[in-house]
Every structure is written in structure tokens, then in C-alpha cells.
Amino acid sequence: MSIDRMKSQISDKAGFIAALDQSGGSTPGALKAYGIPETAYSSDEEMFRLIHEMRVRIMTAPSFSGDKVIGAILFERTMDGEAKGKPVPTYLWEERGVVPFLKIDKGLEDEVNGVRMMKPMPELDKLLARAAKLGIYGTKERSVINLPNAEAIAAIVKQQFEIGHQVASHGLVPILEPEVLVKSPDKKGAEAILRDEVLKALDAMPGDYKIMLKVTIPEVADLYADIIKHPRMERLVALSGGYSLDESCARLKQNHGMIASFSRALLGGLHADASDAEFDATLSKTIDKIYDASVNKV
């Protein structure tokens, strides 16, 4: 079955997961970095059309394949779109060998007690059912931690695992993403609390499904080693979080068993005006660097 091959690839194959899931709030910045200013579009529809074209250009580039990019996280509109006449999830898996994931959160609440919880997702079951039909393998949901507030971080983890359980009930694999901000005034302290809360939550998980975890690359190397080894964990992946490509890769190399799931660090250097050959050469160089950091540890 396709799902078994996807699971084997995500669980065991060398490589990394591309994060192509910029949503409404982050799309203008992504387009600007790509060389398309806000003056180039006058509506959300035009903006999303332009970002979809950028993503399709990435997904159809020769270097973007399952040889090194084992998975890709998609924005809902990207999942619903097409690449070369096929639904994007189908194209990614059948033509590129890349396992498709879907970003499911609807944004963040305002910061309270040093964290930002996910907003309610009343239509989540409908979205998950649709995603499963479209061939999506798993999902990703993001919340944010700024301060080392133990009670607030415990609430973040609780919400993440509850949504993860809902995702798993649809046969999908959840990627939980409690992001500790790289600019946190006590990133190390927040990460230590997060690790302990995640381990407790893993031990208390119902059922027999597995989850994935996406975290900021920690200040203490191999901080999440016990999480990686936990029997309920499918894979641990890292976000770049605003670090440059070089710094993200250098930090990642210090953490054994952790692979990349970069967004900004992956897309940096790509430009709308580049020829297809130039575009792929830039993307290929970045893919090689992220792959190397995900595989070769010091």
C-alpha cells in the first residue's frame, strides 16, 4: 500500500521535510523575499495565486525529489491546487516521491503567560477527512512558546496532543509543533520545560498510533534524545525559526536523530526572475546543504 511506503520513508529514510506552508499572514514576506513586492498584487486571491506558482516551481524543479526531500508540508490552498495537471498531493507522491503533509492550524491566539495557543478549529474533522481522501499522509499544527512558564507550556503541550489525537483518529500522522521562539529571553529554560512536558504526554498517550514532533533546534545539543527514542515517536524534525541557512545547519548537525523541516532557510536565495536553470541550481545547493546537516552529524 502507498501508506506503508510513505510510513517507511518518513520513519527511516535519510533526508528532510520541506515546509511549504506559509499561510495568509506570512505569504507577503515569502513573496517579497522571492522578489515579488506587495505592489505586484491587489487582492488575497492574486497573492495566493503568486505563492502557489512559486511553490509549484519549487515542487517541479528537478532537484526537488524524494531522494533528499522525503516530505513536504502544504498550506490548505496548496493541497487543493494542482501541479502539472494533477492534485498537488498526488503529484508530490507519484511524480516526485515526496510524502505530503498538511498545515491544519488556523493561527494563534494572543500571547498569555508567555505562550500563544492555537485558535479553535471547529471545522477540523471535515478538513482531515478531505485531506485523507486527497492522499495526505500527515498534518502539522503550530503554537508558540516565548517564556519558560511551566503551567503555560503544559497547556500548550496538552492542546497539541489533544489535536494530535483528533488527527490520528482520521488515520493521519500528526506533527506537533510547539515552537520555542529563537528570540525568547530564556530559550534554554523554555526548552527544558517543553522536553519534560512532551515526555510526560508521550507516556500518557492513548491508543497505539505514533506522532511526530517539530521543534526549534535546542540550545543544549541532543536535548530531545529521549523523545527521539520514545516508542510513540515516528520522527523528530527541526524548524529553522529565523536562523540563517548556515546557522540552522550548523546547529542541526549537533543534534543526533533530528532532521530538518525548514521553510525560510529552504527558500532563501530563490528569485522569481531567475531562469529555470538558475532557480534549480540555487535550490539544489540549498537542498544538498540541508540534507547533509540532516544526515551527517558531528
Is 218 within 8 Å of 236 (Cβ atoms)?
A: no
- Of 141, 177, 197, 234, which one is the catalytic site residue? 177
Torsion of the alpha carbons at 127, 128, 132 and 137, rounded to the nearest 10: 120
Residue 134's CB is within 10 A of a number of other CB atoms, namely 16
- The catalytically annotated residue of 187, 214, 234, 253 is 214
Residue of 216, 218, 253, 213 whose CA lies nearest to 235: 213
The yes-or-no answer on residue 177 being catalytic is: yes
> Rounded to a whole number, what is the largest CA-CA distance in the chain?
52
172 φ/ψ sector (left φ>0, alpha ψ -120 to 50, else beta):
beta
Q: Is 283:58 a contact under the CB 8 Å cutoff?
A: yes
The secondary structure element, H or E, covering residue 19 is: strand 16-20
Q: Residue 231 CB: number of other CB atoms within 10 A? A: 9
Alpha-carbon gap, residue 45 to 35, rounded angstroms: 18
Contact 38, 262 (CB under 8 A): no
Pairing of strands 82-83, 86-87: antiparallel
Whether 84 is a known active-site residue: answer: no
Cα distances from 47 to residues 41, 52, 73, 78, in angstroms, run 6, 9, 19, 13
Nearest to 175 by CA among 218, 209, 221, 135: 209
CB 164 within 8 A of CB 212: no
Known catalytic residues are 177, 214
